[in-house]
Structure 1
């Protein structure tokens, strides 16, 4: 071998060393790697061939490809984090070796799909994080080997609901957490989740929905505790039977939609509901019975709507602790609002009601009441430096809807003037 060849070999070895992630082993079982100076193709030898290893973290290690045998002889491996790399494709068989694997994180890579059979040997996986890729296709049968699957995050991909087979999860009935957020789930099949028996959390945030989807309200989903439907284009909740099957639901998030119409009976089946988020919609009217007699409801968020009238009857019989009515068009509340809530089952501890176009006399009554009852409120907003209410020479609270428009306009005029 010539001197030049030796020099080239040494130089190549140095380059490969600089490209490879640096890995350290903790407690003789957990391997954590940090990125080298260049993009890297994962090969056998970096983390393989250690039967004691139970966890491997290769997060943000500039990996663009994984070669066969990269995970050979990892018979104890249960945790594998490959997130925040540049992987665009996984070869069939590349993760066959670590058969005890239960957690696999492939989030924030560049994956578009998976070869059918990829998970055939890793049947113990129960947590699968695939968020932040470019997945646009999921072959029917890809998840069939994963009968122990409980956690699935498919958020922030390029899925089309209309293209997802309703039988995709038929062999994984024990999923408890399912995240489809930031995909297009319009026209997804009505029976998409029909095989689920233990679902607790379903996230459909930013999925282009125009109505509450039927696949999210089926009778097999009585185990669901949290349903997230935020940041969509849902305009109404006018079907009283919409949530009739979700009697186990504890949290319902409908924030950042365009909801205007609500059937007063739509929430009545949700006897275990603890928190409802309706912030930033277009609600003008609260039905007189909307939150009535809900035995576990303690938190209601209604900020950012167009509400003028707040009927006390709508909350009767519910143990309300937190109420947010900020950023609406409220000029008054019924006299002794908080006391009335308390007398009918409410336990108000925190009440947010600023900003609104308050009549000063009405706001004064409310402030006295929350202080007297020890209810937490946004007191820092009432420092005398910014307008919080409007009044005429006649300083008394006019509790009637006929006065609302006048005080709303007066408040808007004052607010505009104060900004100049």
Structure 2
């Protein structure tokens, strides 16, 4: 794949015409012709997959500037972000560029006259990152009916109005991530029946009634921010019974019984940084299709025994939670998992039989504050690898691992030198390694 990165710095001055048009050529023979801040022509002798234009000042695109540019993707990257520089587009600016399917604009304040976007009707991906939009650019989008991917991240959009994307009935991916709170009005997603992934990260959400009613089958939903006006997670799952990938970050979330009752199709559930304090018993019992559950970086203080009972998942992540500290008896009973990650949780106490009934490939307790392992702490656990590295361990009780099964035990280096498999109840076949 060939990529050309073009800087509007003078490299080789080819010619100066009477109208002060100056053409520049880079080392790959791509020519940029400008008249002051106006791009008049972009010419190259070969076909390139990407053309990236680094802009260091306000830039205007003249008529037919890209007429001879046979490339799949055109990018405008404005290097100075504060204050945003201007990208001015006029009718005919994109005339004649039949081969471009992806248009990316980064950190530009876009102005235009007439409808220059009609010449881009065939593109299927439009990304406008940090373009200072304060509202959905519906007039631009109405000229891009073949879009399958639309990214409007890092803008200043506060309201997503009814029929904002009505012209984009082929859209499969939509990203509305921004730093402002966002109101999603009823009917704002009308016309997006083919959407496969929706990303609406914001500081907060005001979801008007029926805002998601457009979607009969939305597999992937990624939200970052807090819900307003009494909207609950249960409301979201009832709306999307076929959802298989859901992420919610930076909200204030309380896990209650039946919260996931409408989410039987979920395969990936990521609930990071939501100020969750308690994991109740059987809260995940309806998620029979779940493969990944990530509860990291919350404020969990208690995990009720049986919280994960009956689950069979590939990965369960409960990491980077310094408030956890204690693992109660029966916490992981009847859980089957490939990777159980409990690292960086400030765990200092493991109650007897906390892992009884656990069947895992990896159990990671690295970087906690354990000082001792009692005789029943890991009783009833079956795993391939148990990681106790980077703890403050000074004592492992006799027969501490007699009632557990494992193939490899990873210890702090200071314990490895005095390790005694027989005393700890380990078969000689178990491999002992250290964190160094």
TM-score by length of 1: 0.75
Q: 2:342 aligns with which of 324, 332, 351?
A: 324
User: Is 1:257–2:274 an aligned residue pair?
Assistant: yes
Matched ranges for 1:221-260 at <5 A: 221-234=240-253, 236-238=254-256, 240-260=257-277
Q: Give a deviation string over 1:235-270, Cα, whole Å, max 9, x none.
A: x112x2221111111222222222224432321111
Q: Taking structure 1 as reference, are residues 214 and 73 closer, same or farther at Cα in structure 2, changes over 3 Å only?
A: farther
1:197 aligns with 2:209: no
Higher helix content, 1 or 2: 1
Partner of 1:352: 365
Within a 5 Å distance, the mapping from 1:1-400 to structure 2 comes to 13-14=21-22, 16-17=34-35, 19=37, 25=44, 28=47, 30=49, 32-48=51-67, 52-60=70-78, 63-82=86-105, 84-89=106-111, 93-114=115-136, 116-161=138-183, 164-185=184-205, 187-207=206-226, 212-219=232-239, 221-234=240-253, 236-238=254-256, 240-304=257-321, 305-312=323-330, 314-335=332-353, 340-342=356-358, 346-356=359-369, 358-362=370-374, 374-375=384-385, 377=387, 379=389, 381=390, 388-389=392-393
Normalising by structure 2, we get a TM-score of 0.72
Deviation of 1:286 (Å) = 1.3
How many residues matched? 367
Larger proportion of strand: 2
CA RMSD of aligned residues (A): 3.6
Match of 2:427 in 1: none
- The structural deviation recorded for 1:31 is 5.0
- The verdict on how the C-alpha distance between 1:333 and 1:211 changes in structure 2, with shifts beyond 3 A counting, is farther
Which ranges in structure 1 are unaligned for 5 or more consecutive residues? 1-7, 383-387, 399-420
Q: Following the alignment from structure 2 to structure 1, what is the Cα–Cα distance between the partners of residues 86 and 357?
A: 58
- Unaligned runs of at least 5 residues, structure 2: 1-15, 23-32, 80-84, 401-436
Question: What SS class does the counterpart of residue 96 from structure 1 fall into?
Answer: helix
Task: Give the Cα separation in 2 of the matches to 1:92 and 1:45.
Answer: 15
User: 1:215 and 1:124, CA in 2 relative to 1: closer, same or farther beyond 3 A?
Assistant: farther
